[in-house]
Structure 1
């Protein structure tokens, strides 16, 4: 019995277990990063599906409902005002950075920073309010720009001749991501490596008896 205990705690066996654990951790991290790695979806005013000169949010939303782009004001799940705070049920999953100038930005980058809920079947609104048009609307659904909810949205070159973005807003539904096939395969591989490590330890233990 004492020889079995000693065989499990041999330095080479402990080192082997540490190597297996390290490899499993590296594989797990690599799989997670691979599923999260996304390119930017670049959106310019030319990608619009609708626009208008309404200046109040209520009037804009009414037009979007009338034209069939959204079903109700409750569809608003994320909004970021320039110089203000985020709002909406998906606010914790996204972060917006305005650029060019802090007060009169032409660009906005919306990044997914969460690990859970994300927006699907989305429609985006970029508003100025003081120029023509006063706002642009973009279909981000699978029938439009096909945004997957986690890749970054890069809004570029809005009102370069003196206007500025006042806020960005996304309408849609909030979903919870399902594990991708690549991630499931990676986890299966990690499990197989772990099983192999256990078998190797058992074989060494039996051989030492």
Structure 2
């Protein structure tokens, strides 16, 4: 039997009443709390960094240095992914380092398994690339095949991602395979590659000349 002190409920009865009010008044709020909510993790990118104006990230996007996300280092997801702007798709050479990397990252152009077997340098002890991004970033830098007289570029298209290096533990691809898509024309004595090709409606591909100028062909 409840005890009253004047017109007031005893403290024990008052506490019981408050707990009932809490249980009845807030069930909707409590039931609305989800336990499976998780925060999305940021996806951090690697990028080419070195460009003064442009850079390419490992997602295959090219952007300006000012528009790159300062936290994730990723380019905005807009424009063309794996863009080959300014690239010759036959020679696999581009006039821009960043677009060379972007074009190279396209899975339809670069086979991951083959790319990761290419040696970083010619010595037998040289290691291989650890990712497709490393392969593209490394291959698109200048190499000896893109310069003449050691101080000038053979062509504006001097950023190339073709696999010219030896595979790890295997020999080079045949010369014929590496000249696929190239029409060979013969110029006159003293005539440059550019003039000889343009007179026939073609364009010169300087980085393939070293394949032709070999005695074992």
Same structural fold, with TM-score higher than 0.5 when normalized by the shorter chain: no
Q: Which has the higher strand share?
A: 1
Q: Which has the higher helix share?
A: 1
Q: Indicate the structure whose relative CO is greater, using CA pairs within 8 Å and at least 6 residues apart.
A: 1
TM-score relative to the length of structure 1:
0.20
TM-score relative to the length of structure 2:
0.19
Greater gyration radius: 2
